[in-house]
Structure 1
Amino acid sequence: MWNPDVYLTYADHRGRPFFDLLARVGVRAPRRIADLGCGPGNLTETLAQRWPGAVVEALDSSPEMVEAARNRGLDARVGDVRDWVPAPDTDLLVSNATLHWVPEHPELLARWAAQLAAGAWIAFQVPGNFDAPSHRAVRDLVTSPRWADVLRGFPFETSEVVRSAADYAALLTDAGCRVDAWETTYVHELTGPDPVLEWIRGTTLRPVRAALSDADWARFREELIPALDAAYPARPDGITFFPFRRIFVVAQVK
């Protein structure tokens, strides 16, 4: 289960890569835009504002996220990106921080490039921070003797799921696209109590929270916080710097 309110805690930080991605898209008057993994719709609605003449369709696997998107007036529906097929008039496919949840997404990208019309655009970004101290701390705790049995089967996020920018560029070039691929490490300035925990609580820690009782979740948090504090110490002024690497790809079908 996704919690839109928790996810939106750092909406400004999470939104910046979306706008950096879209800044490299050159489509002028798209007829249809598909946002795959639309989340609560706060970013999807900016697509309609930028291209008011386009039909904007939104898809997400979370009913909670889709409900939040619909509350913003968006045409959102629950679905799996693996089943999505572009309509003939789709001129822009956007996917923001979604495809890393789908291990077979490289095959999907090649398939979509073949299904989209000439001139259509594909734009996506995925996290590239799965070996960061935050993720290592979660993996270490989940596999510790205290939690290994309780959290057996925890779906680890690993760097093996996400390709390099060069790999994505090669994949989509071979699929018949012109490609612009790059990566950026953002240094997010976070404040407040346990800010890194609050960040990953909305994404990486969702399966942990779903598997634990309220009491166990409180204990898990208490054990995780010292590791996060050691990896990301707060400055005397209360600021915690949180580096976050992301991979971006913008491609146009030839």
Structure 2
Amino acid sequence: MHGAPTPTPTWDPRQYLRHSGHRTRPFLDLLARIPEPPAHRGTTRIADLGCGAGNITALLAERWPHARITGIDNSDAMLHTAREHLATLPAGRHTDFVHADLTDWVPEEPYDLIVSNAALQWVPGHTRSFPAWTRALTPGGTLAFQVPGNSDAPSHALLRELCASPQWRDRLGPAGRRTLDVLPPGAYLQHLAGLGCEVDAWETTYTHVLQGEDPVLDWIKGTGLRPVLTTLAGDPAATEEFLGAYAALLRAAYPPGPHGTLFPFRRVFVVARKDG
């Protein structure tokens, strides 16, 4: 039904982590541009928004081993995996995890760094949260994030077309019409500069080389397909039919080459440092 609310996607940590090497590289590029937290008495406080399976939280703990890091996510499955993963960190690392929805998350204490890796695209109107998030930064603190900027790529365009086809549009409803909320780098710069931040905003297109059968489908099953797979859960026949049709479209758009399947992927980066 077109008036029904969009279902909250069910996340699969194992599927998401199948391409963790490619997915982690953009965050490493972001991390290299994040300045050191402001020097002050007390423990450095970091919030990891949309922490997912905790692989990014672990990288934050590796760079700032004495910081208190809070991972925030709305997926119980992801948080369970994150807690298991972070339990293997050396003694003395201070991490905890909170179940919350970034749509209405408001910091309850000051932070020296608020960071997010490939999560804000799922939060419609996330720029409306920037004033509250930057107010929560300590003087000299940083808000840093990266989001995928590939909504016009064949992988996403073909998915939208298939979801809107007569066979699937009524069955999928809002899940089939869900779009990612991502702005150009310049728009993010304007938002955050207007809040008194010194902003570095840029974009990068990565050319990932994927291996295996239907590798682009395998990638998207961990992210962009989650709303569709959640809606079709419980109907294996429909799920198989949809995935078969989508896989055929992706094979034509991303044919395998002699070294693997090339998958260009644009991402948008922002590092905003609060005055102080």
- On the 8 A contact 2:114/2:144 being kept in 1, the answer is yes
Shift in Å, 1:154: 1.9
- Tell me whether 1:52 sits opposite 2:61 in the alignment: no
Aligned to 1:147: 168
Q: Which residue of 17, 23, 27 corresponds with 1:18?
A: 27
- Structure 2 SS opposite 1:33: strand
Q: Which residue of 49, 54, 64 corresponds with 1:41?
A: 54
User: Residues 200-239 of structure 1: matches in 2 within 5 Å?
Assistant: 200-212=220-232, 213-237=235-259, 239=260
What is the alpha-carbon root mean square deviation over aligned residues?
Answer: 1.5
- Structure 1 SS opposite 2:171: coil
Shift in Å, 1:89: 4.1
Q: Which moved more, 1:171-180 or 1:25-34?
A: 25-34
Q: Which residue of 217, 225, 246 corresponds with 1:197?
A: 217
Shift in Å, 1:12: 0.3
Shift in Å, 1:103: 1.0
Question: For residue 172 of structure 1, what is the amino acid of its counterpart?
Answer: L
Aligned to 2:78: 65
Q: Which moved more, 1:116-125 or 1:191-200?
A: 116-125
Q: Distance in 2 between matches of 1:154 and 1:82?
A: 17
- 1:89/1:110 CA distance change after superposition, 3 Å: closer
- Structure 1 SS opposite 2:139: coil
Identity percentage of aligned residues: 49
- Structure 2 SS opposite 1:185: strand
Question: For residue 9 of structure 1, what is the amino acid of its counterpart?
Answer: R
Q: Distance in 1 between matches of 2:60 and 2:258?
A: 40
- Structure 1 SS opposite 2:18: helix
Question: For residue 128 of structure 1, what is the amino acid of its counterpart?
Answer: G
Question: For residue 35 of structure 2, what is the amino acid of its counterpart?
Answer: G
- Structure 2 SS opposite 1:95: strand
**Structure 2: segments with no counterpart, 5+ residues:** 1-9, 88-94
Shift in Å, 1:66: 0.5
- Tell me whether 1:117 sits opposite 2:138 in the alignment: yes
Shift in Å, 1:85: 3.0
Shift in Å, 1:210: 1.5
**Structure 1: segments with no counterpart, 5+ residues:** none
Shift in Å, 1:230: 1.0
- On the 8 A contact 1:31/1:89 being kept in 2, the answer is no
Give the TM-score, by structure 2 length.
0.87
Aligned to 1:183: 203
Q: Distance in 2 between matches of 1:158 and 1:143?
A: 12
Aligned residues: 252
Question: For residue 211 of structure 2, what is the amino acid of its counterpart?
Answer: T
- On the 8 A contact 1:131/1:158 being kept in 2, the answer is no
Aligned to 1:133: 154
- Tell me whether 1:174 sits opposite 2:194 in the alignment: yes
Q: Distance in 2 between matches of 1:162 and 1:81?
A: 15
- On the 8 A contact 1:130/1:157 being kept in 2, the answer is no
- Structure 1 SS opposite 2:172: coil
- On the 8 A contact 1:66/1:78 being kept in 2, the answer is yes
Q: Which moved more, 1:173-182 or 1:217-226?
A: 217-226
Q: Distance in 1 between matches of 2:230 and 2:183?
A: 28
